[in-house]
């Protein structure tokens, strides 16, 4: 069996395992929906935001690479492109979320809030029909960007003028990042911020963009680590590439912490009646312990670990840090969303359902990701800048 056939066989086995795990997780979610529909929709919502964020993060990192270049992007370009091609699967997985939007979201029940506390703009913006229209626009924009980025990348593999295609990819990526920033800002308002209609934050969308880039970078580091034992990546990927990716991961950790603290500091110092309840409910009781857990394991420990040059050059150790950061991204979403419904603290009797949702959606998404990864060579075939990106220093 050739190395390529062996690689395809490994991909097929991994895809089947992911699909089975995802099926088991979704079956557990279905059982949870039968027992407690509200808790199911909340758990599914958090899990869906996590994996959608990884796909969006792959798309944004891909556009960033096309825009600025750099050796770090060449070795993970196919991984990022595969993540950007999973939006059709995510659109199908969004059906339970969209069905459950009315019973699971506090903002969908506008009549439950005092109209005096809601401006005219908020009442119009919270209309369910307007919500579905905006959601259609978001997914349409993401599907369009993913389609063009992959279509032109394939053309670059086969064309005799790859430089011209590279210019088109670069020209798309600048406006594409603006479109991504606008859509994810409004999506974060629709799907998370408006769980508590009286609260608002101008940093919220940027926090989600950084969190998505962080989780996507962590994911591709793990995948790259698993693929570097076989050709062709074993002949190209160097410890210096993992060092670069680890440095970017470190930057995203720092930026996430900076934005999170900035939002807290601005709201706390402003001390406005309509803003501080959001943090009060998340800094009392058992939620306070979860906040401390986030500070320690989503910032402090990764910060000190990723300072080490030697750690970033060791792919196994770096991938463990990356896996921990993906888990902490889920914890962060849990801490942001759940206190909107349970002010006293986490409902541990539903922890199995909270975990089944990300396992179920994640298994299906990873299976789709591997299916896309199998379709194209693991390295760009005709990129004029690839030689420089593949051969940077040891």
Give the residue extent of every domain in the chain: 8-386
Of residues 325 and 159, more confidence is placed in 325
| Nearest-angstrom CA–CA distance, 46 and 40 | 10
- Taking residues 235-245, report their average pLDDT: 90
Looking at residue 389, what is its pLDDT? 45
CB atoms within 10 A of CB 386: 18
Percent of the chain exceeding pLDDT 70 equals 89
Instruction: Supply the angle between the helices 204-227 and 239-270 in degrees, to the nearest 10.
Output: 160
At 106-157, the pLDDT tens digits run: 555 544 455 555 666 767 777 778 888 999 999 999 999 999 999 998 888 8
The dihedral built from the CA positions of residue 160, 167, 177 and 321, taken in this order, carries a sign that is: positive
How far is CA 154 from its chain centroid? 24
Exposed / middle / buried, residue 376 (Cβ in 10 Å: 0-12, 13-18, 19+): middle
- Taking residues 246-275, report their average pLDDT: 92
Q: Number of helices (H) and strands (E), helices first, in the chain?
A: 19, 0
| Nearest-angstrom CA–CA distance, 243 and 246 | 5
| pLDDT grade for 275, boundaries at 50, 70 and 90 | confident
Q: How many CA atoms lie within 13 A of 169 on its CB side?
A: 29
| Nearest-angstrom CA–CA distance, 160 and 227 | 29
Output phi, psi for 11, to 5 deg.
-60, -45
In 3-state terms, what secondary structure has residue 208? helix
Whether residue 358 contacts residue 47, with contact meaning beta carbons closer than 8 Å, is answered with yes
Output the average pLDDT for the chain: 88
Kindly report whether the global pTM for this prediction surpasses the value 0.75.
yes
| pLDDT grade for 393, boundaries at 50, 70 and 90 | very low
Stated as kind and residue range, the H or E segment containing 277 is helix 276-280
SS3 content of the chain, % helix, strand, coil (to 5): 80, 0, 20
What contacts 66, CB < 8 A, 6 or more positions away? 73, 149, 166, 169, 170, 172, 173
| Nearest-angstrom CA–CA distance, 113 and 198 | 9
Percent of the chain exceeding pLDDT 90 equals 60
| Nearest-angstrom CA–CA distance, 394 and 390 | 11
Judged against a pLDDT cut of 80, whether residue 4 lies above it is answered with: no
DSSP H stretches of helix in 159-238: 162-191, 204-227
């Amino acid at each position: 069996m050739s190395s390529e056939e062996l690689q395809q066989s490994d991909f097929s086995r991994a895809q089947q395992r992911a699909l089975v795990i995802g099926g088991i997780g979704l079956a557990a979610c279905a059982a949870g929906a039968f027992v407690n529909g509200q808790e199911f929709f909340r758990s599914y919502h958090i899990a869906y935001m996590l994996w959608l964020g990884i796909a969006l993060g792959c798309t944004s990192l891909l556009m960033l690479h096309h825009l600025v270049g750099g050796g770090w992007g060449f070795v993970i370009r196919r991984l990022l492109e595969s993540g950007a091609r999973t939006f059709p699967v995510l659109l199908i997985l969004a059906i339970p979320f969209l069905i459950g939007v009315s019973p699971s979201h506090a903002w969908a029940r506008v009549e439950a809030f005092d109209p005096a506390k809601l401006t005219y703009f908020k009442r119009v913006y919270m209309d369910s029909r307007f919500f579905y229209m905006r959601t259609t626009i978001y997914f349409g924009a993401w599907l369009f960007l993913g389609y063009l980025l992959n279509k032109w990348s394939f053309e670059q593999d086969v064309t005799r003028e790859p430089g011209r295609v590279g210019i088109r990819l670069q020209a798309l990526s600048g406006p594409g990042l603006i479109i991504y920033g606008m859509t994810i800002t409004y999506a974060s308002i629709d799907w998370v911020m408006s769980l508590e209609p009286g609260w608002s934050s101008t940093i919220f969308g940027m926090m989600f963009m950084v969190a998505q880039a962080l989780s996507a970078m962590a994911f591709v580091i793990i995948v790259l680590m698993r693929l570097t034992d076989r050709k062709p990546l074993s002949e190209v990927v160097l410890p210096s590439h993992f060092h670069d990716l680890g440095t970017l991961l470190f930057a995203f950790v720092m930026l996430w912490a900076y934005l999170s603290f900035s939002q807290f500091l601005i709201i706390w110092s402003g001390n406005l009646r309509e803003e501080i309840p959001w943090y009060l409910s998340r800094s009392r009781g058992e939620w306070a312990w979860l906040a401390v857990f986030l500070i320690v394991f989503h910032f402090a420990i990764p910060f000190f670990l990723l300072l080490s040059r030697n750690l970033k050059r060791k792919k196994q150790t770096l991938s463990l840090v990356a896996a921990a950061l993906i888990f902490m991204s889920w914890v962060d979403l849990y801490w942001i969303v759940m206190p909107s419904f349970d002010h006293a603290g986490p409902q541990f009797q539903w922890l199995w359902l909270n975990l089944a949702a990300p396992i179920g959606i994640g298994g299906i998404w990873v299976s789709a990701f591997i299916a896309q990864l199998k379709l194209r060579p693991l390295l760009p075939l005709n990129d004029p800048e690839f030689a420089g990106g593949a051969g940077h220093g040891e």
